[in-house]
Structure 1
Amino acid sequence: MWILWAVTLFWAASFSLIGEFLAGRVDGYVAVFIRMALALALFLPLWRPARLPLLKQLALVGIGAIQIGIMYLFLYHAFLYLSVAEVLLFTIFTPLYVTLVDEVLFQRKAVHPRWWLAAALAVIGAAVIRFDQLSDDFITGFLLIQAANLCFAAGQVFYKRLPLGSSRQQLHVFALFFIGATLSAGLAMLAFANFDKLPTTTLQWGILVWLGLGASGVGYLAWNLASKKVNTAQLATMNNMLIPAGLVVNFAFWGNHVDWLRLAIGAAILASAVVVASKRGR
């Protein structure tokens, strides 16, 4: 669990960086491709394809394409319709998608009711923290975010259920994850990108390098490795911990208003969701 907590803190600034400095300035398709390509470059020197059967290699490519390649295409475009706060609000349903995908696709014989309770508590806690007045474009943004949430949730569950061996073995094949993400992002960029909106400033390139190597490269490796060490409910509830962390980062670095009472109440509900998810059944 501590790895999921660490990655959550690691990712906390990503929403604000995208919303404040990239959205509307750098084409979303271009930004996603650059981010995925940088992460792929980080893992290519470690790639040992012979250590994984072909079918599992193809599955890992597909997981990467879904979990972050396609997911980021939806997410970046949502920022054109929503504020950072609204994007954070609409991510609250991800825990439910994680639980739903795991149950429906993997036909679990005995899904613990507390797992659904934990996911529901995570949604409620995040809503308490982040519910606010919505903009006129919220329907389009909402649908884009839900598509992103579903891709991210499905990718997490697929990776968790795919047998890949030890953490060391996963490190040697993780380039496949970003091959899938880079291919999907690259095809979308060639088809739809506006190449008049390329990154031009040192700040924009610096943010993309951080998002590519740090938040995506190191972050997704750590998150997916940790996903195999926790149960589905713990994984689901941790998806919403980014909301209070993101709000604190917004306040600390950009001085954005934070309703501390709502943050405290919502964080307490989120913490109770983690406790419920972590509790072992008899």
Structure 2
Amino acid sequence: MSYLVTVTLLWAFSFSLIGVYLAGQVDAYFAVLMRIALAVLVFLPWLLRKPVALADAFLLAALGAVQLGLMYIFYYQSFLLLSVPQILVFTIFTPVYITLLYDVLDGHFNPRFLFAALLAVVAAAVMRDTLPAVNYWLGFLVVQGANFCFAVGQVGYKKFMASKAHLNAGHQQFGWFYVGALVIAIPAWLLLGQAQYPTTPVQWAVLFWLGLVASGAGYFWWNKGASQVSSGTLAVMNNALIPAGLLVNILIWQRDTDISKLVLGIALLLLSLWLCRRHAV
């Protein structure tokens, strides 16, 4: 659980940096490519020194291609169809996908976890505030594609680690996760990217922070945390970034938000986590 909480705080801060220094100023696909390429460099020493079974490498690469590569393709295409507030609203359904996917793979339906996931969706909707119009179903489907890819990667890695107890921490193999994402990111940038690169040292510094820390360490810690908690807790924690991000905006960037809705949303998320307590991983 500590890994998930740490990465939630890390990503909340990183999203604020993206919004202030990169959004609308640096091409999104170049930013994604840089983040994934730098993350590969973080794990390159283990990739070169610690060979793994071909099947394990392929599976980790496939998970990375889906969870990061395809997820980002869907996510950035959604900006062509929806406004930012609408995209933020539509991202709240990931917990439901996680708990249902895990139940399908596990062959066992857990109604408590599904209820906790739905409660987490309600909590996120309360804090998001802005609701979309009913004629944005194409955009909705594109964002759900991103949500589903992110959920598949998390559930897949959780099941992978459960079957590979001998891998211990998993960091020696995790580089293949980013290699798979890079296979998607490179052609995406070549086909969809624009000639809009960082122009200031601050923008480059933010990109390096995002690549080496938020992506390089962040996705490894998140997936490691996912392998140590129940599927219900993992599902709920996917929406914990919302209050964390709002708190960062309030405390650091002095942005306005509805405190009463924030408190209510946090209370509902905590209730969701309580419903998932003391269940097996």
State how far apart, in whole Å, the 2-side matches of 1:91 and 1:79 are.
13
Displacement after TM superposition at 1:230 (Å): 0.9
**152, 156, 159: which one pairs with 2:157?**
159
Q: 1:87–1:63: structure 2 CA closer, same or farther, 3 Å change rule?
A: same
Cross-structure match for 2:13: 13
Q: Distance in 2 between matches of 1:49 and 1:187?
A: 28
Contact 2:230 2:279 in 1 (8 A): no
Q: Unaligned 5+ residue runs, structure 1?
A: none
Where does residue 124 of structure 1 map in the other structure?
122
Q: Which residue of 2 aligns with 1:237?
A: 236
SS in 2 for 1:173: coil
Q: CA, structure 1 residues 205+190, in 2 after alignment: closer, same or farther (shift >3 Å)?
A: same
* CA-atom RMSD in angstroms: 2.3
The farther-off stretch of 263-272 and 73-82 is 73-82
Q: Which residue identity is paired with 1:180?
A: G
CA drift at 1:15: 2.6
SS in 2 for 1:12: helix
Whether the 8 Å contact between 1:82 and 1:138 is mirrored in structure 2 is no
Is the CA contact 2:158–2:227 (under 8 Å) kept in the aligned structure 1? yes
SS of alignment partner, residue 107 of structure 2 = coil
| Structure 1 match to 2:178 | 178
1:221-264 residue CA offsets vs partner (Å, 9 max, x unmatched): 11111111111111101100000000011112222211110111
> Separation in 1 of the partners of 2:256 and 2:72?
27
1:221 corresponds to: 220
Identity rate, percent: 43
Contact kept, 8 Å, 1:65 with 1:177, in 2: the verdict is: yes
Alignment of structure 1 residues 1-282 onto 2, 5 Å: 1-47=1-47, 51-79=51-79, 81-83=82-84, 85-104=85-104, 106=105, 108-132=106-130, 134=132, 141-162=139-160, 163-165=163-165, 168=168, 170-194=170-194, 196-280=195-279
> How far did residue 203 of structure 1 move?
1.9
Consecutive unaligned residues of structure 2, counting only runs of 5 or more, are none
Partners of 1:58 and 1:218 lie apart in 2 by 21
CA deviations over 1:71-121 (Å, ceiling 9, x no partner): 1233344456433x54433221010011122233x1x33322101011011
What letter is aligned with 2:146?
A
Distance (whole Å) between structure 2 residues aligned to residue 22 and residue 164 of structure 1:
38
Could you tell me how far 1:278 is from its partner in structure 2? 1.8
Displacement of 1:182 in angstroms is: 1.1
- In the superposition, relative to structure 1, how do residues 49 and 158 fare at CA in structure 2: closer, same or farther (>3 Å)? farther
Q: Amino acid of the residue matched to residue 132 of structure 1?
A: T
- CA 256–144 in structure 1, closer or farther in 2 if over 3 Å, else same: farther
Normalising by structure 2, what TM-score? 0.90
Matched positions, count: 277
| Alpha-carbon distance in 1 for matches of 2:205, 2:135 | 30
Equivalent AA in structure 2 for residue 200 of structure 1: T
Q: Is the 8 A contact 1:49 1:173 kept in 2?
A: no
Q: In structure 1, how many angstroms separate the alpha carbons of the residues matched to 2:87 and 2:15?
A: 8
